[in-house]
Chain A
């Protein structure tokens, strides 16, 4: 199997992640519900994973990191919590449905929404982004990097623009947390939403949000927290204000091991390695007959993603042939990012997306190029 769908989820995990989850499954009680060893093991692991994430992403403090089931849940919590009827919100056409759908739902409930277009080359016009703000703009929810093309957008610049208009900047870092260095503090990001199962190499069912000091998000999910049981209200302070119910401690244990892996390897080193392989993959694909690379060079940076079309062929057909004949795993179609495809002009055809991780090898790149070459020759 050649696995090139890491933008969906990283299939190859560091061994320590698997060991951590296995150990947690045999050892953990329910965090925060008891003062005995098994409960404390879970609680301390969750706490230490918070610390590791806060350090990796340069968040204000561990207590400003709240876990969620995935980045979609984190984004929903932010959008639901921070926007009220009459507010205005901004996003871009690079956004994933995890941003678009909550915003559309809020629009049905009385917010105003502006969507800043993306150019066919994947680039964002920051002047247009600036021009989208209105006096009642509450927040801009933007993707850090497109899950379709890998084009990345300047978070610090967008934060600066948002703050100049008195609005918050919420960053969907699904494709970038762990893939490139991020500093919430230096880049002045108000809320950073992350997923655990992509470039942080944790299990599915993990993710969360890092919230800057001074940004208070009313919870959309309330319930048990293991303390203050007689209070009718959810505790007001993070992280527990945004963590009702039993946490996925088994998954968070794995996430902690994944974050340790990334921190030990070095995010910048991972980014360099993946960038080099991405460039080689793209160069090889671009030389093949009928292959058209889509986006990837319009952003402020680029993630380990290459999107392409092959002639006029349905991307689903291409991906099916890659899987059946060559054992190559990739994604086709719209990638839950409909507006990006409108920008690229690929709504009907979709794109084939290859996405790399720190475990992708040169041999896999070579095999992918051979596979696409063979399919391209078939016509």
Chain B
């Protein structure tokens, strides 16, 4: 399970619309207290890395502190960032 957190409500709403338009399945949830985040609304992705990668692409491959991806792990969550591919390096 993965969670996307945001710096503001507006960012969360924008991401909701963007992921819905990209046919990425998600649901909203209150931001887990284990994650330090600005906005109280988080998006939950139940799937594998491929799904999360699609979400990451749809949201413009964020690397800033605003939109942050987290992977559920034992004891809580850990930050998630896709492994860099040669394509990412070329674009980045």
Chain A interface residue number, banded: 20 to 34
Instruction: Report how many A-B pairs have Cβ atoms within 8 Å.
Output: 62
- What secondary structure prevails in chain B residues at the interface with A? mixed
Find out whether the CB atom of A31 lies under 8 angstroms from the CB atom of B9. yes
A12 to B42, CA, bound (A): 40
Task: Kindly identify, within residues 18 to 57 of chain A, every residue whose CB is under 8 Å from any CB belonging to chain B.
Answer: 31-36, 40, 43-44, 46-48, 50
A35 to B26, CA, bound (A): 12
Given contacts A226-B9, A227-B9, A240-B9, contact A35 B42 (CB under 8 A): yes
Find out whether the CB atom of B41 lies under 8 angstroms from the CB atom of A240. no
Cβ of B5 to closest chain A Cβ, rounded Å: 10
Q: Which residue of B lies closest to A241 (CB)?
A: B8
Find out whether the CB atom of B8 lies under 8 angstroms from the CB atom of A47. no
Is A237 located at the chain interface by the 8 A CB criterion? yes
Find out whether the CB atom of A240 lies under 8 angstroms from the CB atom of B8. yes
Find out whether the CB atom of B38 lies under 8 angstroms from the CB atom of A47. no
- What secondary structure prevails in chain A residues at the interface with B? loop
Task: Kindly identify, within residues 1 to 38 of chain B, every residue whose CB is under 8 Å from any CB belonging to chain A.
Answer: 7-14, 16-17, 28-30, 37-38
Of B14, B28, B29, B38, which is within 8 A of A227 by CB?
B38
Residues of A within 8 A of B42 (CB): 35
Of A43, A46, A228, which is within 8 A of B38 by CB?
A228
Task: Kindly identify, within residues 219 to 278 of chain A, every residue whose CB is under 8 Å from any CB belonging to chain B.
Answer: 225-229, 235, 237, 239-240
Find out whether the CB atom of A227 lies under 8 angstroms from the CB atom of B30. no
- Point out residues on B near A: beta carbons under 8 Å: 7-14, 16-17, 28-30, 37-42
